[in-house]
Every structure is written in structure tokens, then in C-alpha cells.
């Protein structure tokens, strides 16, 4: 059977996403842990910092009976100029799966095409599929009708938003996106998502419009990893796009507030909201573990 990679949410069918959510839910409730990945190894390459992705994959592999290797890209020969393809072929001889957190998305694509074992995108500049899969699980825990809810994303057009757009495409979600005019999403991901879901993905430049009737309010940092030199400019560009209590009060009364973390407190989201009654951000952080386990079980045979 051909190996499977998880490079983007578009790699999954609707039923597979639903099954991952169900499996994460079972794994979360499991009293006695099954160890289906006994003897298996996950190699994790990081070019960027990580708390949640690293620890959830590492603990997840351990709980499934396997083991995970943390490889800092700069400590590998990769950081000294060995090609991604040669790295992929070498690691495929030792490990049963490779996860990569990188800058250029093409690096994940190249790694996956040269590796003979499954490759997981642990975040690239273009997308962050594992995050959005676990976020969908978090929404499911709060409301089993998660496919029928109204989602509002406020902020930057980044990797996290791209994965939300892909999920909205595959699952047919109603996703309202508010960005400053010059940061509106466009391009292949939006077009492909709209081929699946023609009317459900709507773009706004006014956060108030986007949160109207929303059940879920989502935000992420304005300055993603690798964009630090654009910081001052972006802070100005995103004025008015903060998720604060005034904005949250314009959504449905029982709306939940989500953020993938790490947050820049009092920048894209106020501490009051992040720590407030509607916030589910630490459930999201926990659920990375349960969803990573479901993903690993799906890909590693």
C-alpha cells in the first residue's frame, strides 16, 4: 500500500477528518492505553521554535508505545547544506514517519516526495494542518454540530488561516474571515476550497461584520515566525483587528474564543479574553496531543 503524507488538509477526505476527530475523542477518554505503535519511531525536524507541536508529538508517540526523536535542523547535516532529498532518504531508513516544521512549504513537499515513509507538515509558512485538525476536535467537544456552526477568523492571512480555509472547503464550513484589505486571502488555496464549498467562505475587512452571529471566534498572531522584521509595520496594519471583549460581545452570547498559541497577549487578543470564560485555548493546546495520536495512527502502519 502506498505511504500517505499529511502535508495539507486537502490530503484528507471529509470522512477521514470526521474519523480523526472521533478517534482523537476515543484516545482522549481511553483509560487503559493501547500501544499500537510499539517499536515505531517518529523523526521530528524543527527549523522553527515549538512548544505544543514538539511536546504533543513526543508524548503522543510515547503513549502509543513508540518513540520520537527531536532533531534541530541546525544540528543536522541539513543545516550544513545536505539536501532535503538525501536527508529524507536517510531518515526513511531509520524512522517510520518524519515530521517537519519549516519555513518554505516546498521543503515539506520535497521531503515527502523523497521519503519512503509518511511525512507530516508540522507547520510551514503556508499551512498548519495538524493544528486545525485538533481545533476541529476542540469545537466538536463543545458542540457535536461543529460542521453547522459559523466560524469567524480575525487577523492575518497566514498558515493557520490557510488550513482553516482548506478545512472549510473539505467540510463545507461557514467561515467568515476579516483581514485588513491588503492582507485578504487569495490564490490557489482559496480557489480550491471554493471549488468544494462555493458559498461558505466569506471575506470581510470589518471584524464586526465577521463576528456577527459567530459561534467560534479564532485569531492568531499578526507576526508569524520568520516575519520578525515586519513587526512594526504589521502592528500598524492590524490596528482595529484585536480580539477584545467589545468584539467578542458582538458574536453569539455563547461563542467560544480560540487561538492556536503562542499568543502575543494584548496585541491580537487581550488577556481578558484569552483568560476569560469563553476562551478554550488550553483545551486546544491539550487536544493537540489527542489529535497527533490519531494522525500518527492513521499514517504509521
Phi and psi of 163, rounded to 5°? -70, -30
Partner interacting with residue 44 (select from ligand NVA, ligand CP, none; CB below 5-8 Å by kind): none
Which position has the grid cell 469567524? 152
Q: Which residues contact 131 (CB under 8 A, 6 or more apart)?
A: 53, 123, 160, 163, 260, 288
Query: In the numeric block, which cell numbers belong to residue 161?
Result: 488561516
The verdict on 284 binding ligand NVA (CB under 6 A) reads no
- Catalytic residue list contains 260: yes
Alpha carbon distance 205, 141 (integer Å): 30
Interface with ligand NVA in residues 96-155 (CB under 6 A): 123
Is cis: bond before 262, omega within 30 of 0? yes
Cβ 250 to ligand CP shortest distance, Å: 26
The verdict on 120 binding ligand CP (CB under 6 A) reads no
Cβ 49 to ligand NVA shortest distance, Å: 9
The verdict on 260 binding ligand CP (CB under 6 A) reads yes
The verdict on 224 binding ligand NVA (CB under 6 A) reads yes
Cβ 118 to ligand CP shortest distance, Å: 19
Residue 278's alpha-carbon distances to 28, 128, 254, 273, in angstroms, are: 22, 24, 7, 7
Interface with ligand CP in residues 122-141 (CB under 6 A): 123, 131
Per-residue mark of binding to ligand NVA, 173-212 (x: CB under 6 A): ----------------------------------------
The verdict on 221 binding ligand NVA (CB under 6 A) reads yes
Pairing mode of beta strands 97-101, 216-219:
unpaired
Pairing mode of beta strands 119-121, 150-154:
unpaired
CB 192 within 8 Å of CB 165? no
Chain residues in the site for ligand CP (CB under 6 A): 50-53, 123, 131, 260-262
Binding residues (CB under 6 A) for ligand NVA: these are 123, 158-160, 220-221, 224-225, 260
Catalytic residues: 101, 128, 131, 220, 260, 288
Amino acid at each position: 500500500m502506498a505511504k500517505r503524507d499529511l502535508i495539507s488538509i486537502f490530503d484528507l477526505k471529509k470522512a477521514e477528518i470526521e474519523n480523526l476527530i472521533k478517534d482523537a475523542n476515543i484516545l482522549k477518554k481511553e483509560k487503559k492505553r493501547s500501544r499500537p505503535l510499539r517499536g515505531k519511531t517518529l523523526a521530528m525536524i524543527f527549523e522553527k521554535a515549538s512548544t505544543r507541536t514538539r511536546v504533543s508529538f513526543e508524548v503522543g508517540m510515547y503513549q502509543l508505545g513508540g518513540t520520537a526523536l527531536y532533531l534541530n535542523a541546525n544540528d543536522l547535516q541539513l543545516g550544513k547544506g545536505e539536501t532535503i532529498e538525501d536527508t529524507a532518504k536517510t531518515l526513511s531508513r531509520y524512522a517510520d514517519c518524519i515530521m517537519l516544521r519549516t519555513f518554505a512549504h516546498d521543503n515539506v513537499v520535497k521531503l515527502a516526495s523523497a521519503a519512503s515513509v509518511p511525512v507530516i507538515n508540522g507547520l510551514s509558512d503556508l499551512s498548519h494542518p495538524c493544528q486545525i485538525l485538533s481545533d476541529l476536535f476542540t469545537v466538536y467537544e463543545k458542540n457535536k454540530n461543529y460542521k453547522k456552526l459559523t466560524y469567524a477568523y480575525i487577523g492575518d492571512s497566514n498558515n493557520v488561516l490557510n488550513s482553516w480555509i482548506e478545512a472549510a472547503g473539505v467540510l463545507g464550513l461557514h467561515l467568515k474571515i476579516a483581514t485588513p484589505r491588503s492582507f485578504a486571502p487569495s490564490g490557489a488555496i482559496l480557489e480550491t476550497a471554493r471549488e468544494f464549498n462555493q458559498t461558505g467562505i466569506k471575506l470581510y475587512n470589518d471584524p464586526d461584520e465577521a463576528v456577527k452571529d459567530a459561534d467560534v471566534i479564532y485569531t492568531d498572531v499578526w507576526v508569524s515566525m520568520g516575519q520578525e522584521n515586519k513587526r512594526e509595520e504589521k502592528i500598524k496594519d492590524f490596528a482595529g483587528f484585536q480580539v477584545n471583549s467589545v468584539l467578542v460581545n458582538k458574536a453569539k452570547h455563547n461563542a467560544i474564543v480560540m487561538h492556536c498559541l503562542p499568543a502575543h497577549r494584548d496585541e491580537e487578543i487581550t488577556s481578558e479574553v484569552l483568560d476569560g470564560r469563553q476562551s478554550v485555548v488550553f483545551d486546544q493546546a491539550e487536544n493537540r496531543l489527542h489529535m497527533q495520536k490519531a494522525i500518527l495512527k492513521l499514517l504509521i502502519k
